[in-house]
């Protein structure tokens, strides 16, 4: 795959409200698609999962959610997300029809996400992403940042929240996008938020 670095994002949004299909478009015509997987995607998802190192997968996987979401067969059978809060929107990330990564967007109230210092009654989203090993560092994270903003707005969230490594690429992307730093930790992690 060619790198997406150096390209300009020209749009991001929703392609299909019913099937939860979102996108980021680039100035050269490239489109990255983020969509909720369906039953027929199960085999391709299992193949893609095997192309992610255990270290990368463990950084992506959350410990405080039902772990069945990380089983590809289960993930592809989950009901379509319809905006409920709390809720989970599992996504596959595609480029030219090939899976290049996975993402999950978690929705809940500010009360649940209290460490981010948001209003308790606000609707918030918080996501995670992992790219297949061969796509790491090629710009999938930048597409994710743009698309996750669009997803948050689409589902009428007041905030998008995140925790990243300060030395990582996602932190730099979010700084450029106007995220507010809430807390820095001694392990190199940082909590930050953006009002949508």
pLDDT at 65 over 90: no
- Could you tell me what percent of the chain has a pLDDT over 70? 99
pLDDT band for 139, please (50, 70, 90 cuts). Answer: confident
- Of the given ranges (13-22, 35-44, 164-173), which has the lowest mean pLDDT? 164-173
123 vs 69: which has the higher pLDDT:
123
All structural domains of the chain:
9-158 (3.40.630.30)
Give the span between the Cα atoms of 24 and 12, in whole angstroms. Answer: 4
Residue written as token pair 């790198």: 3
Mean pLDDT of 2-27: 89
Q: Convert the pLDDT of each residue in 21-51 to its tens digit.
A: 999 999 999 999 999 999 999 999 999 999 9
Q: Which residues contact 65 (CB under 8 A, 6 or more apart)?
A: 88, 106
b/e 161-186 (16+ beta carbons within 10 angstroms → b): bbbbeeeebbbebbeeeebeebeeee
Mean pLDDT of 44-72: 89
Give the pLDDT score at 69: 83
Assess whether the previous peptide bond of 66 is cis (omega < 30° from 0). no
Phi-psi region of 137 (alpha: psi -120 to 50; beta: other; left: phi over 0): left
pLDDT at 1 over 70: no
| SS3 state at 34 | strand
118 vs 177: which has the higher pLDDT:
118
pLDDT band for 62, please (50, 70, 90 cuts). Answer: confident
- Of the given ranges (31-40, 80-89, 94-103, 173-182), which has the lowest mean pLDDT? 173-182
Is residue 144 within 8 A of residue 129, CB to CB? The reply is yes
Give the pLDDT score at 26: 92
């Amino acid at each position: 795959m060619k790198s997406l670095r150096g390209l300009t994002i020209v749009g991001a949004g929703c392609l299909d409200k019913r099937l939860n299909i979102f996108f980021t478009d680039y100035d050269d015509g490239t489109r990255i698609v983020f969509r909720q997987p369906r039953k027929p995607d199960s085999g391709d998802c299992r193949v893609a999962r095997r192309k992610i190192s255990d270290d990368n997968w463990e950084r992506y996987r959350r410990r405080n959610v039902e772990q069945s979401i990380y089983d590809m067969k289960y993930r592809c059978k989950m009901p379509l997300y319809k905006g409920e809060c709390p809720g989970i929107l599992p996504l596959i990330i595609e480029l030219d029809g090939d899976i290049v990564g996975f993402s999950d967007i978690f929705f809940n109230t500010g009360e649940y996400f209290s460490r981010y210092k948001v209003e308790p009654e606000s609707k918030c989203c918080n996501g995670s992403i992992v790219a297949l090993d061969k796509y790491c560092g090629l710009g999938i994270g930048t597409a994710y940042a743009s698309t996750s903003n669009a997803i948050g707005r689409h589902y009428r969230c007041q905030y998008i929240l995140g925790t990243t490594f300060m030395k990582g690429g996602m932190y730099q992307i979010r700084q450029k996008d106007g995220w507010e730093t809430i807390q820095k930790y001694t392990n190199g992690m940082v909590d930050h938020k953006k009002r949508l």
